[in-house]
Chains A and B, each alone.
Chain A
Amino acid sequence: MADVWYLALAYGIIWLGLFGYLFHLSRQAHALGQELNLLREVLATEGRDEPEWDDAPEFDEEPQALAAERLAASQPAPGEA
């Protein structure tokens, strides 16, 4: 019975290590994506064109459109001020 316990512990460590590392990578990728969308948002709210990047990765257009909407909503309508 002790055999099975040691075997389970060892294989548990292997799967925990591998899936734990995969989870760590996916979290890093998610954080990176969020940071990049934030950067785009900041640039959009600054009202400037984004700089042109070499080999820029592709990203969803959604956050930029959202940022533009938020910016429009935060500004007073003409004649309101």
Chain B
Amino acid sequence: MKGLLGTTLEPMERGHRVVGAVALVLILAALVAVFVQAPTEKHLGDVQRIFYFHVACAWTAFLSFFLVFVGSLAYLRTRKTAWDVLAVSAAEIGVVFTSIALLTGSVWAKHAWGTWWEWEPRLTTTLLLWLIYVAYLMLRSAIPEASRRATFSAVFGIAGFVDVPIVFMSIRWWRSIHPAVVSGRGMDLDVAMYPAFFLSLAAFSLVFVSLLALRTALERSHQQLEEMKRQAAFKLGGEVSHG
């Protein structure tokens, strides 16, 4: 049976395909809302339209790192590999979305602030968040033994999550020039921006679910292959020594 991304590995379930298709439809709807329905901002003009997908990427990154946190906690409690698979898959996707959020934010900043980068609290803590999860992935690749790798990275995944609320609260705790979508008074957005904003959030959340399903299937297949290799080496080695 043809499976994940056209390979013969783990079969891609029908549910994954449905989520992928709905995500695609929502992305198209969000694009229409962003470029057609959403109002043009007075000072920034069309560049402000970066905001919708930029925030959606940041939201998806937070969601990913929350799942790393949950997966890591659950792994340490149960020692079930499935939680470790969830954590590493979510971490990788989180790094991708944080990278996109940092880069698109930088493009927006160049137009709005006249500089590609500013060492202000929101940007600095987000860069730190990115570095933490890149380090998490590097740590995993540096430990060959599966259970040690899972345990160390689970501890790292829990500790690393501390930065997520710091990123979110940074613009309230410190003096920041970064715009705030959610402030103490609630949503700081014009009502006309709501459809594009919430459609973008929904679309990227579903893209995340879809990518997570693919990535976890791949990770499971990878771990099965490693196990098969070990069993094969053991069996062949045993036969050779007996022969």
Chain A complexes with chain B: yes
| B57–A14 touching, CB < 8 Å | yes
Minimum CB–CB distance from A62 to chain B (whole Å) comes to 9
- Chain A interface mostly: helix
Query: Which positions 22-61 of chain A face chain B at CB distance < 8 Å?
Result: 22, 25-26, 28-30, 32-33, 35-36, 39, 42-43, 46, 48, 50-51, 53, 55-60
Interface size on B (CB < 8 Å)?
46
Residue pair A32, B7 in contact (C-beta under 8 Å): yes
B214 — nearest CB in chain A belongs to which residue? A25
Instruction: For B5, give its contact among A3, A13, A26 (CB under 8 Å).
Output: A26
The answer, among A10, A14, A33, A46, for a CB contact under 8 Å with B108, is A10
**B215 located at the interface, meaning its Cβ lies under 8 Å from any Cβ of chain A in the complex:** yes
B145 contacts the other chain (CB 8 A): no
B86 to chain A, nearest CB (A): 16
The docked-state distance in angstroms from the alpha carbon of A17 to that of B107 is: 15
Best-surrounded residue of B7, B100, B108 (most CB of chain A within 10 A): B7
Contact indicator per residue, chain B 221-240, by CB within 8 Å of chain A (1) or not (0): 11011011101100110010
A72 at the interface (CB under 8 A from B): no
List the A side residues contacting B215 at CB < 8 Å: 25
A57 & B9 in contact (Cβ 8 Å cutoff): yes
* Bound CA span A7–B7, Å: 36
Shortest CB-to-CB span from B213 to chain A, Å, is 11
Docked Cα-Cα span, A48 to B237, in Å, equals 12
* Complex interface residues of chain A between 1 and 21 (CB less than 8 A to chain B): 2-4, 6-7, 9-11, 13-14, 17-18, 21
Determine whether the beta carbon of A17 is less than 8 Å from that of B99: yes
Question: Which residues of A sit under 8 angstroms from B107, Cβ to Cβ?
Answer: 6, 9-10, 13
Known contacts A10-B54, A17-B99, A53-B227: A4-B46 contact under CB 8 Å: yes
B10 interfacial by beta-carbon distance below 8 Å:
yes
Q: B19 → chain A, closest Cβ, in Å?
A: 14
Closest 9 CB pairs of A and B: A26-B5, A10-B50, A33-B7, A17-B100, A10-B107, A3-B46, A10-B104, A29-B7, A3-B45
Q: List 14 A-B contacts (CB under 8 A).
A: A6-B111, A9-B107, A13-B104, A17-B103, A21-B96, A25-B5, A29-B5, A29-B7, A32-B218, A32-B221, A35-B225, A39-B229, A53-B227, A57-B3
Give B residues with C-beta under 8 Å from A: 1, 3-11, 45-47, 49-50, 53-54, 57, 93, 96-97, 99-100, 103-104, 107-108, 110-111, 207, 211, 214-215, 218, 221-222, 224-225, 227-229, 231-232, 235-236, 239
